[in-house]
Amino acid sequence: MQARTRYSVVLVSSVVLFLVYRQWLQGSVPGHGQNLNENIKLQYDHLHTYVTWTERDSSEYEYDLHASPKQRRQSRTNLYKNRKCRMDTCFDQAKCSDTFKVYVYPVHGKISESYSKILTSIRNSRYFTSNPDEACVFVPSIDTLDRDILSHEYVTDAQSKLTKLPYWNGGRNHLIFNLYSGTWPEYSEDLGFDIEQAILAKASFTKQSFRPGFDISLPLFGKSHPQKGGPRGDLQTNNFPVIRKFLLAFKGKRYLSGIGSDTRNALYHLHNGYDIILLTTCRHGKDWQKIKDVRCDRDNAEYEKHDYQILLHNSTFCLVPRGRRLGSFRFLESLQAACIPVILSNGWELPFSEVIDWKKTSIEGDERLLLQIPSILRSVSDEQILSLRQQTQFLWDAYFSSVEKIVTTTLQIIQDRLQNPRSAFMWNHPPGALAVFTDFAGSHSAFPFYTSVLGEEACEKFTAVISVSSPILSQSAPVMKLIKSVSKSAYAAQVSRYHIL
């Protein structure tokens, strides 16, 4: 009898377990709200991927992961009420049908040294006009470079000052320059005023806020950046060996908390003290000692052992991590030193990305895949390193070595959208787009410095340059007779007409 009871209990228990298992497979057990296929998919979703960040779709990284969704929404709302602006909707191209001229409003009051350099560069350029009636683009004299309300260079009441400009017209055909936006702790892209329909040339631009074909992303440059000229790149004296003493180097602040701290706080994982030298210091700000962590004293001591310039010029790759904002001074410093930039700034729209192919110059990483970087860098061949390094020097010399070149590049990009655009080939090959006048010729082969790159032979004909110091008043003028005679020559490639002002 007892044995029969035991068998009955076992049988009933087995039936109950079978029914429970069957219900679990069908997704009817409480707490298991997914069917079997969904459970399997969920398990696969958690598997580690071995696809490198260089092989992934760049659209995955278009967002600034360090800002909350609310902060990003507020930033976009405050920055743009004309999010869909394009050159054909928010820009009066009729003003630029004949020439491309830029008018700078008269300066009233004090402006920063950096903004003074920008305005001076425009006034000294071939684009400048003192006559607003013939202008295509208008640049306010109101200093909008630093929009951090804690800065002593912050201009109050910028909104009303802009709207009172005589040619503002809702911002159409106006160009606004900005290097710093937002303030502690979010450092959002809020400028503190509505740019309306103006073009924004801005440093630390996010891909979310950037309006392709309309806005322009600038490099972050310091107050000491030269007005014009600027030093040549360092490659001419530091080209070999291909692999320098250090594989990767960085020296800079380590933010203990807040936006931008995640990446810099993790750099010590890569530092090996041998060929990867990543140095950070906690010693910045007023209260750093109150919030310092257990690594700060050791990091500060290691930080003082290495000279930054020595690291910069003796490293194959230079890390360019984001700071409080996406842009960093390390970017231009790396280009000048012929140190290949390794960019760690998710969602950053790189400077002049509309025309410059940064894949030929830099390596763009992902902040979330930091530990993959050493193996990626060690896999780059000597030939690739030489090519990347040479391109850093070309870009530095052509577009970034002075404020004048940065401003001229900005204006040239706008002009290219309207008249005789330079090709991507011209922008990314020496001597650069700023040295090429497409009014002269539209074909690459017409320019002698491209023939070797294109594998073509140089034209055996010549270009005559005729300097005219006074206006040509009639077809019978001596200079016209000279031009006609030159054009009949079998050795003249072409005759172009220029107005010398």
- pLDDT band at residue 190 under the 50/70/90 scheme: confident
Say what the pLDDT of residue 55 is. 38
* Out of 2-6, 257-261, 272-276, least confident range: 2-6
Fold (topology level) of 239-400:
Rossmann fold (3.40.50)
Contact residues for 102 (Cβ-Cβ < 8 A; gap 6+): 122, 125, 127, 128, 129, 135, 136, 137, 138, 139, 175, 411
Say what the pLDDT of residue 44 is. 34
Among the listed residues 265, 73, 84, the one whose alpha carbon sits nearest the alpha carbon of residue 188:
73
Structure tokens at 24: 């679990």
pLDDT exceeds 90 at position 161: yes
- The percentage of residues in the chain with a pLDDT greater than 70, rounded to a whole number, is 78
Say whether 396 sits in a helix, a strand or coil: helix
Say what the pLDDT of residue 164 is. 95
pLDDT exceeds 90 at position 64: no
CA torsion angle for 398, 405, 435, 237 (degrees, to 10)?
Answer: -30
d(Cα 486, Cα 263) in Å, to the nearest integer?
64
Among the listed residues 293, 316, 167, the one whose alpha carbon sits nearest the alpha carbon of residue 242:
316
- pLDDT band at residue 94 under the 50/70/90 scheme: very high
Say what the pLDDT of residue 198 is. 96
pTM recorded for the entire structure: 0.78
Task: Give the helix/strand (H/E) hosting 138.
Answer: strand 137-139
d(Cα 411, Cα 221) in Å, to the nearest integer?
17
d(Cα 333, Cα 432) in Å, to the nearest integer?
20
Comparing 139 with 500, the larger pLDDT belongs to: 139
Structure tokens at 259: 């936006």
To the nearest 10 degrees (0 to 180), the angle between helices 113-123 and 403-418 is 50
- pLDDT band at residue 59 under the 50/70/90 scheme: very low
Comparing 51 with 177, the larger pLDDT belongs to: 177
Q: Is there a contact between 308 and 246 (Cβ–Cβ < 8 Å)?
A: no
CA torsion angle for 81, 87, 91, 97 (degrees, to 10)?
Answer: 180
- pLDDT band at residue 406 under the 50/70/90 scheme: very high
Task: Give the helix/strand (H/E) hosting 259.
Answer: none
Say what the pLDDT of residue 448 is. 73
- pLDDT band at residue 114 under the 50/70/90 scheme: very high
Q: Give the pLDDT mean for 160-174.
A: 95
d(Cα 195, Cα 218) in Å, to the nearest integer?
17
C-alpha distances (whole Å) from 385 to each of 239, 402, 479, 494 are 11, 25, 52, 41
Say what the pLDDT of residue 323 is. 83
Q: Return the bridge partners of 321, or none.
A: 344
Say whether 408 sits in a helix, a strand or coil: helix
Q: Give the pLDDT mean for 192-200.
A: 94
Phi, psi values for residue 20, rounded to 5°:
-60, -45
d(Cα 110, Cα 146) in Å, to the nearest integer?
13
Any idea what the Cα angle at residue 29 is, between residues 28 and 34, rounded to 5°? 65
Domain positions in the chain: 2-45, 69-218, 239-400
Structure tokens at 308: 């930054």
Highest mean pLDDT of the ranges 179-188, 198-207, 452-461: 198-207
Query: Tokens 């598997």 belong to which residue?
Result: 47
pLDDT exceeds 70 at position 25: no
* Out of 163-172, 423-432, 452-461, least confident range: 452-461
Q: Give the pLDDT mean for 477-483.
A: 78
> Which tens digits make up the pLDDT trace of 411-444?
999 999 998 899 999 999 999 999 887 776 667 7
